[in-house]
Chains A and B, each alone.
Chain A
């Protein structure tokens, strides 16, 4: 299994859609906090890499103080430790599979399996393990890449494939997902279900099944879907999240304002919340913000924008980061 960490692929803190997602999660956790969930005492476990963006956000804005970052890339160890933002961040140099059984059963958790690779069986196994052991009230999130499997992903499952000779297409992608998640795919799937435009749907369908099945035999808790995002900062990504909920957690959640949030997904059958980040100038944003939240049909009078852009902006403006150059 060779996976290049996205540390080397993208500048973490400059991904606007990802940042919108983080801020929406933050918003959701704040709403849960208002409804009586003791979010501040939850343990947050994530893959902080060398940027720790989510850790900084959750510590500063939510007051989370039990923070654990997992890193499986040994060569990054010194950098990860050097970049650790707060003393309350614990770092373990091991994969999620090793750490999950060690997560305390006496604490509630927010666990974000924030993978940057395409869905594979190890991710599903991590998800199932977490759902099997985390106590009621815990929140589990998983993020995967929904782009087509590349040659290096495919060669993992089919050693006879030699890249260059054959261009990968839906046939190979079907083989890839059948290798990694066959028991979660419905019977008799045709190759045309695995076209590039459908791969996010495939990943969501597999994860939905994995979520549903892993908790079926726990009697004390049931699954409460919370999030289903898709977004794109280059690669198309999918994030799904649930609460491992006891009956009183469900009641509390249903009484919270989270259920009113546009990004909230109480079940995985409804379409995902697509985070669209319109490309606007700073001046345009300042102008638009002045009218936000706007009524449907509102249009700027000083310049032209299509309705889709305005709608997208209305959904994300509260969560959208503004990037600027600083001369430090």
Chain B
């Protein structure tokens, strides 16, 4: 038997594999790792994180993740518990996970850290301390690339001795030319800031304090609303160990969603936003749904995928898109379309010929208030519904007309009541007619 070589080469990881992801997403990958360590330390369940924000225990230590980026270095420091030596030696620097390894909730593929390190600079150092033990790795990737072997030197250091200070610090220096240029061009920290705000709305503020160049990142929440007349559509199912929760409704009118920027479907995997405000074929627009249109700007949908095995989730390795071949996503997408259609039917009806009906729908859209996900997710599957308030049957009519002043005078004289106002005279005349001429 003859064989062809099918070896792995370092250049693949250093030069190729780093091309399909943006610099900003690489930095988010590092934040993911910190959050993963935090989730692991606090034994958080993703469902609680999203649906039960109030269950937060007082003993929980918030994740603190500080990112700094400049043309000199990219650095991320967290207090999320650190990496133990065994994992550092046997897992963290390997490409991909072994079948029996339990990956984190956000780090699915075992590529994010390495890809970020290689993409950004030529040198890196990682210092990580658990309360018990610590390690340090300092590497020049160019020198490492020239060697045949795949090992990376590691030094053991002391632990942090306290849970509060245990954490990891990653510093990437000697940035690649193109990364340096992008940093010089400006805008990168701002984009990382904006992307982090919209990627981690369920972590930020409540569980995690993230800062970019010392600026604290606020959550950019996904708001979903209901009102007396409007009930959100909901759907849940489980497939292959992935729990899927779908919610679709209108945005609360007070939110900035009116611009349409926030309209569309949001897809989250284990609490991390993968796709934000999508209005494309990816979520059915222009396929089974009509193409997105400005009249749908108050539509908002959330598709939440959760699993203990993140490899079963429908995200791509960059976590910026959905794997469209994923069976669980295809099933979810069909249901997303089903949930969306009644809402579009309602929004389309804002432009019919009957003005009263339009006003009713406009009012209904206007009255939508934000609701808790917990409230939505705890209820059984149901379609979106819009029940306009029952029209009040009008039982009175207003009578207004002009009469000659001389006739008013005539009646005043006839009744011998010169002070009667014209409206009293009108009322008197009307009542008189009803009483004397109409019988019962």
Between A95, A100, A133, the greatest number of chain B beta carbons within 10 A of the residue's beta carbon is seen for A133
Question: If the complex has contacts A128-B288, A129-B341, A217-B327, are A99 and B383 also in contact, measured as CB distance less than 8 A?
Answer: yes
- The interface residues of chain A, by DSSP majority, are classed as helix
B301 at the interface (CB under 8 A from A): no
A98 near B341: Cβ-Cβ < 8 Å: yes
The answer to whether the Cβ of A79 comes within 8 Å of any Cβ in the partner chain is: no
A105 touches B (CB below 8 Å):
yes
- Enumerate chain B residues within 8 angstroms of A101, measured Cβ to Cβ: 233, 235, 338-339, 341-342, 382-384
Q: Which residues, 339 to 393 on B, are CB-close (under 8 Å) to A? A: 339, 341-342, 345-346, 380-385
Does B181 lie at the interface of the complex (its beta carbon under 8 Å from any beta carbon of A)? Answer: no
Distance of A122 Cα from B68 Cα, bound (Å): 51
A residues near B380, Cβ cutoff 8 Å: 105
- Closest residue of chain B to A72, judged by CB? B345
In the complex, what residues of A have CB within 8 A of residue B61's CB?
none
A128-B384 in contact (CB<8A):
no
Q: How many A residues are at the interface, by size bracket?
A: 20 to 34
Q: How far is the CB of B396 from chain A (nearest CB, A)?
A: 24
Instruction: Say how far A115's CB is from chain B's closest CB, in angstroms.
Output: 16
- Within 8 Å by CB of B383, from A102, A183, A219, lies A102
Quick one: which of B287, B334, B341, B345 contacts A214, CB cutoff 8 A?
Answer: B334
Q: Return A132 CB to nearest CB of chain B, in Å.
A: 5
B288 contacts which chain A residues (CB < 8 A)?
121, 124-125, 128
Contact with B along A83-100 (1 / 0, CB 8 A): 000000000001101111
Q: Is the CB of B338 within 8 A of A133?
A: yes
Contact of B383 with A98 in the complex, beta carbons under 8 Å: yes
Chain A positions 286 through 314: 1 when the CB is less than 8 Å from some CB of chain B, otherwise 0: 00000000000000000000000000000
Considering the complex, which residues of chain A in the window 119-138 have a beta carbon less than 8 Å from any beta carbon of chain B?
Answer: 121, 124-125, 128-129, 132-133
In chain B, positions 288-317 with a C-beta closer than 8 Å to chain A are 288-289
Asked if B331 and A102 sit within 8 Å, CB to CB, the answer is no
With A121-B288, A128-B288 as known contacts, state yes or no: A97 contacts B335, CB within 8 Å: no
Q: Is B145 interfacial (CB 8 A cutoff)? A: no
A15, CB-defined interface residue at 8 Å: no
Chain B residues with CB under 8 Å of A124's CB are 288
B253 at the interface (CB under 8 A from A): no
Q: Is the CB of A132 within 8 A of B338?
A: yes
Q: How far does the Cβ of A207 sit from chain B's closest Cβ, in whole Å? A: 15
Q: Which residues of B contact A95 (CB under 8 A)?
A: 345
Contact A132 B334 (CB under 8 A): yes
A318 within 8 A of B: no
Instruction: Tell me if B49 is interfacial: C-beta within 8 Å of chain A.
Output: no
User: Do A219 and B239 touch across chains, with their CB atoms under 8 A apart?
Assistant: yes
Residue of chain A at shortest CB distance from B290: A121
Identity of the chain B residue whose Cβ is nearest the Cβ of A131 in the assembled complex = B334
In contact, B334 and A128 (Cβ under 8 angstroms): yes
Tell whether A98 pairs with B345 under 8 Å between CB atoms, given A125-B288, A219-B239: yes
Q: A100-B383, A121-B288, A183-B287 are in contact. Are A128 and B342 (CB under 8 A)?
A: no
A97 touches B342 (CB 8 A): yes
A319 to B352, CA, bound (A): 43
Cβ–Cβ < 8 Å partners of A219 in chain B: 239
> Residues of B contacting A179 with CB < 8 Å?
none
Identity of the chain B residue whose Cβ is nearest the Cβ of A133 in the assembled complex: B338
Q: A129 to B256, alpha carbons, bound, how many Å?
A: 31
- Interface presence of A218 (CB below 8 A): yes
Report the bound CA distance from A220 to B380 in whole Å: 19
Asked if B330 CB lies within 8 Å of chain A CBs, one says yes
In angstroms, how far is the closest chain B Cβ from the Cβ of A123?
A: 11
Whether the Cβ atoms of A102 and B385 lie closer than 8 Å is yes
19 A-B pairs besides A98-B342, A128-B334, A132-B338 with CB distance below 8 A are: A95-B345, A97-B341, A97-B342, A98-B346, A100-B383, A101-B338, A101-B342, A101-B382, A102-B382, A105-B380, A125-B288, A125-B289, A125-B337, A129-B334, A129-B337, A132-B334, A132-B335, A133-B335, A133-B338
Give the top 5 A-B pairs by smallest Cβ distance, nearest first: A101-B383, A102-B383, A129-B338, A217-B331, A98-B342
Jot down 12 A-B pairs with beta carbons below 8 A, ordered by A. Answer: A97-B345, A98-B345, A98-B383, A102-B385, A128-B288, A128-B337, A129-B334, A129-B337, A132-B334, A133-B338, A133-B381, A217-B334
Q: Which residues of B contact A (CB under 8 A)?
A: 233, 235, 239, 287-289, 327, 330-331, 334-335, 337-339, 341-342, 345-346, 380-385
